[in-house]
Structure 1
Amino acid sequence: MTGAVQWIAEAVQEILQISGLTLQTLLVLCATFLLACAVFKRSGNLPPYPAGRVPVLGHLLTLGRAPHFNHLKLTAWRRKYGDVFTVRMGMKDVVVLNGYTAVKDALVDRSELFATKLPSYLFDAMVGFGQDIIAARWGPGFRQRKRFATTVLRKLGMKVGRGSIEDNIREEANCLRNRITEKNGQPFDIAHDVTVAVANIICSMAFGRRYDSEDETFRELSKAIATVVFQLGTVRIGNVFPLLRFIPVVNRPAINAWKESSKVEHVIREEISRHREHLDRENPRDFLDFCLLELEQREKVDGLTEENVVYMTGDLFFAGTETTATTLLWSLLYMILNPDIQNKVHDELDAVVGASLPALSHRPQLPYVNACLLEVMRIRTLVPLSGLATTQEVKVREFDIPKGTKV
């Protein structure tokens, strides 16, 4: 061992003498070489890169500054490079799938191979580093929590008959209608009222109660959720370059999002304490009741903890409130911009529903209303780019996608 070290030292000294370099210069050159290798490193058989890739930034400059329009650039690249290609996001490769066949193969036929999440420093901190469902890594714990939560939400959710959340939705819809009536035809911004209605439906499912729109706790909860969702959209560059979270000013949106998410967490913990005091084990009423029973019985989710319950409940608010409210607001805007279509929707509702509120049982009789809602979600997709990662090395077409690659 000593002889090998001595041989290396002598070889380095000889190289320095021949080349005329100093040791510091040699180290700088070596570091530059290693950095260049890291920047241009490419797995052996990845799909092709589109043109426009530069060192360190990858395709970020080509994609542009507006992340919500990235899917348009990817669509343009699809025409040139096909249904499967690779985009360099900073120092990381992201494989892009386009088209029905390629997407169905990944998300349906082989979904378990594309089922994990990559680290996202801000979102991970907000959800207990994978203790929830949305950001959890693939594994038995994630599968059990997801299956449990899905079963509970079906019991509480949209179905015809006893125990459906439909009654809560109709109640909130009636409150929203009354708020609009109070304006006497005067113009106003309906965004807050729509968000209140949606948030109260989530509260009904999660907590078994609704709040008055002026309730201080409820207003803080709604504001915190909106702030977190907005700030998450502004810190995407931090996921590409995680070291930016240590830079003052640049990391301010991330700090704000984390502070606001802690307010949501505080409300959920208070509700858990309240539910424990009034838990009816024979008749669970809401999501927290079912979770508390599972914490006692340990039947469906191995090792479920109260922390899991907090972050799983938070998922309901972060994933359900802003998304649903924004979809409704787009729907209202398109009704205003297209009065002929609004009249057709109105006529169908009058013919089927009449003066009462719509019910889930009316849905099969409202094909035009359903078509309009689906069209809104098509042209204003809230999450145009869904990001998963491979759980092992995967063959896609003629390409090899390494384990842990974002897709």
Structure 2
Amino acid sequence: MEQPKVAAVMFEGGAPKTPLDMTMKNVRKEIALDTLAKLALAPEIDEIILATNYEDLAYEALEFATVDLEPSSDRFHFGLRLREIIVKYGLENVLYLGGASAPLMYPHEFDQIALTLKQSRNTVIMNNVQSADLVAFTPARAIDEIELPDNDNQLGNLLRGIGMRRLLIPNSGRVNFDVDTPTDILILGLHPQCGERASKIINSLDWPTENLHKALDLLKDDSREIAVIGRVGPSVIQYINSNMVHRMRVFSEERGMKALGREERGEVVSLLGFVISELGPAKFFSYLSEICDLAFIDTRVIFAHCQGKVSDWDRFYSDLGQYQVIQNQWVREFTKSAVEARIPVILGGHSLVAAGLWIMAEMVASEKQASGYRHNTSIMAPY
């Protein structure tokens, strides 16, 4: 009996409008090519398909993948497009990922996911419980049994909702890390496993990295006061507590706000957003600097509460601390206050306070272990 085949399906595209959008697009293109090269090294993956509307990426990806080039359109719908690919190519089992969803995963990890699909039925494999952006599932035609989602974050849980068995990829910063923001790009550029193509273009950017280097230095110390604010998952804090000696000030809220549609419907409610609105950004960051040595802030929750929809332009330039070019007055004041705080404040999106901080902690732990340090902490198996 012939073994079922697994196809890796990567989506990467968009409609960049500004110079910053174009820079992000060019970096993501190189990340996607690095990941396609790793997928090509996984023997259990029988076919690789790239769906994109970028002609330059399509041309360069031909070395690794079958390319399905779609003309740019404002009417892109994720679920419809994924189903179209599944039907068009007669796919049996699918490993779906976004172009910048898994820049630090290894070929053998992709290979293991593909092998698990071949040995399973009615199964969905996810890299994240709340909002997965790497989703593998068998059979592929299960796509016909769900309401087709307009973004990839909902796919895994929709498949689970029709009774498919869910498997979670072993948790780590690398597995959860994806690139959506300028801060994610800069963190990726610091990582020793950053792909060759991505590393080259990231190193050519003139974006500020001083605060990230200060953050790494502080993480290497002991007994620092570190604030982590936003859609914080428990795993990153557990990892830090198991491998470092810091006092963590954690406030987690609105996890799953995109996957659950809360952001789109304007339903995001943030306690920290309320506090900042009452105090004003300057007073908030002044007090934060008194009680912490370092802060990581997922600003999207705060922005959604205080300002509703904020443009990519303003969010991304806020991440970079370049408040002078931010158009929204409140976001400009918030960013200026963060930049002028007496401590390093790292601004970003969900990935920052989830996998971004996690891989920074992993980098610090690996460096200490390489120098002979052993923290010697692990978690007991359940009785």
Question: Which category describes the TM-score, using the shorter chain as reference length?
Answer: under 0.3
Greater length-normalized contact order (CA 8 Å, ≥ 6 residues apart): 1
Structure with higher helix content: 1
In the superposition, the TM-score normalised over structure 2's length comes to 0.25
